[in-house]
Amino acid sequence: MNNSKPKVAFICVHNSCRSQIAEALGKHFASTVFESYSAGTELNLQINQDAVRLIKTIYNIDMESTQYPKLLNEIPPVDIVITMGCNVICPYLPCKKRYNWGLEDPSGKSDEEFLEIIKQIEKNIKELMKNLL
């Protein structure tokens, strides 16, 4: 019997902010339900430092210890693709299910705007968990 968990890829163009937050929170809240990956089509040198700082502050998760920006070809085949909200330039990956969370990129914005996106991602992760259970 195959009881492997579905693999979920959170993708956006740069894989430096929203998709990295989603990967971190997916691992944090939903590792018993699905495996979390993130990737993009263009490589940033590092994860957004505001995201790193806020995720460390709120959840005590050090994203830089376990995550780094990756290209789409660096993650395994996935069952579910979740795009973060990058309109027409969203990367494409083959999958069984596809969702677009339509989130604004908080890069360069205030902590308040970052926190709104982080809270929305947490809510979306928990909804996804419920839907997959």
Full set of structural domains in the chain with CATH? 7-132 (3.40.50.2300)
pLDDT digits (tens, 9 = 90+) for 61-83: 999 999 999 999 999 999 999 99
Q: pLDDT confidence of 87, banded at 50, 70, 90?
A: low
Q: For residue 13, how far is the Cα from the chain centroid?
A: 12
User: What is the C-alpha to C-alpha distance for residues 33 and 23, in angstroms, rounded to an integer?
Assistant: 13
Contacts (Cβ under 8 Å, ≥6 apart) of 22? 10, 36, 38, 82, 84, 101, 121, 124, 125
User: What is the C-alpha to C-alpha distance for residues 122 and 128, in angstroms, rounded to an integer?
Assistant: 10
Task: Give me the amino acid identity at 1.
Answer: M
- Is residue 93 pLDDT above 90, yes or no? no
Give 18: exposed, middle or buried? Use CB within 10 Å, 0-12, 13-18, 19+. buried
